Amino acid sequence: MLYHLALWLSHYFSPFNVFQYISFRSFIAFLFAFFVVVFTIPLFVNRVKQLYLSHGGVLREYLDHHEEKKFTPSLGGLVLIVSLLLVAFIFMRLDTPYPYLVAITLVLFGAIGFLDDFLKIVRKDGISAKTKLALQFAAAAVVALFIMKFVPIDTKIHLPLLKDMAIELGPFYFLWAVLLIVASSNAVNLTDGLDGLAIGASLTTMAVLGFVAYLAGNYIYAHYLYIPYVPFAGELTILALGFLGAGLAFLWHNTFPAKIFMGDVGSLTIGALLAVIALVTKSEFIFFLAGGLFFIEMLSVILQVGYFKYTKKRYGEGKRILLMAPLHHHFEKLGWKEPQIVVRLWIVSILLGIASLTLLKLR
């Protein structure tokens, strides 16, 4: 909105031209989102605590060894979603498909997560795993259809390290998009089990995707790096910077000992949003590496559950690969302290982010 307003005002006062720059709008989106979230969360925590108190007072889904966390409220992701919706409609260009794509993703996945979190507070259980997955597939299908209809990208997947090497998926692109969104949404959800872990790794991943979006949206840089040029993709850099502001502010309150958790409303939505940006900037493989921590956590669950079931069937007794899945619980069982695990996994995430950027130039 600001872009269009400033464009009109610049006819009367030329300094308003500065709003045309993606870098300037990104910078103010960052500050805006940071201050909105950092000051809203304390008020929100009080509100959510009241909701908990009127329904028994404790978080029902806490780990046995996280006894002290049972009074920590959830639902914090709702503040992130609202701040990002504001960023999308205030700072992004409304004559491109991107603010609408972002809004659809935030609202659909936010609604699924919210329903689950809310039900966990007001009754014993959230929605069943099967229903949640079905809803995620339905939401991802809507988002994928929106991308295919309104975003000017092809249906190829561009392989890393190979110049001009792409696989045409044709109608299967829809399936690819849906699977990526659902997988990413669940991977971030599984990672969200220690204070600051998921939001920290999301920050590094989003920083990479925001940078890639800037390059992909610029014809000269895209051409120079042999990455697909995606008109106006730079608008997503603004969203990414808004996310960095909002996410850092959330981390302020979510760092150990957390005052609030993001809840499924946060984790499912952030995962979906990351995948959507990766899809429209044609950087799925960069995303696999930059967001590698999420996929490692997911893989740890798949392998653990698979091995457990296999050994149970074969030997009558279930065996484990890790002491507990997802991976961060394994380190807890090894006796590492929570902040130690979180900071070390952030370090892994930063390293993966840097490694993923090298894929841009190595072609």
Binding site for ligand 57M (CB under 6 A): 59, 61-63, 66, 69, 74, 189-190, 192-195, 254, 258, 261-264, 267, 301, 304-305, 308, 320, 324-326, 329
Residue 274 CB burial class (10 angstroms; 0-12, 13-18, ≥19): buried
Could you tell me the smallest distance in angstroms from the CB atom of residue 58 to ligand 57M? Answer: 10
Could you tell me the smallest distance in angstroms from the CB atom of residue 78 to ligand 57M? Answer: 11
**Nearer Cβ to ligand 57M, position 61 or 284?**
61
**Nearer Cβ to ligand 57M, position 157 or 188?**
188
| Cis omega (within 30 of 0) for bond into 257 | yes
CB 157 within 8 A of CB 287: no
DSSP-assigned beta bridge partners for residue 167: 157
Could you tell me the smallest distance in angstroms from the CB atom of residue 52 to ligand 57M? Answer: 12
**Nearer Cβ to ligand 57M, position 101 or 273?**
273
- What is the spatial distance between Cα 182 and Cα 177, in angstroms, rounded to a whole number? 9
Task: Give Cα 68 to chain centroid, integer Å.
Answer: 27
SS3 category, 248: helix
φ, ψ of residue 156 to 5 degrees: the values are: -100, 155
CB 65 within 8 A of CB 332: yes
Could you tell me the smallest distance in angstroms from the CB atom of residue 67 to ligand 57M? Answer: 9
With a CB cutoff of 8 Å and minimum separation 6, the contacts of 183 are: 275, 295, 298
**Nearer Cβ to ligand 57M, position 66 or 156?**
66
**Nearer Cβ to ligand 57M, position 234 or 326?**
326
Could you tell me the smallest distance in angstroms from the CB atom of residue 81 to ligand 57M? Answer: 13
**Nearer Cβ to ligand 57M, position 77 or 160?**
77
Could you tell me the smallest distance in angstroms from the CB atom of residue 301 to ligand 57M? Answer: 4
CB 106 within 8 A of CB 84: yes
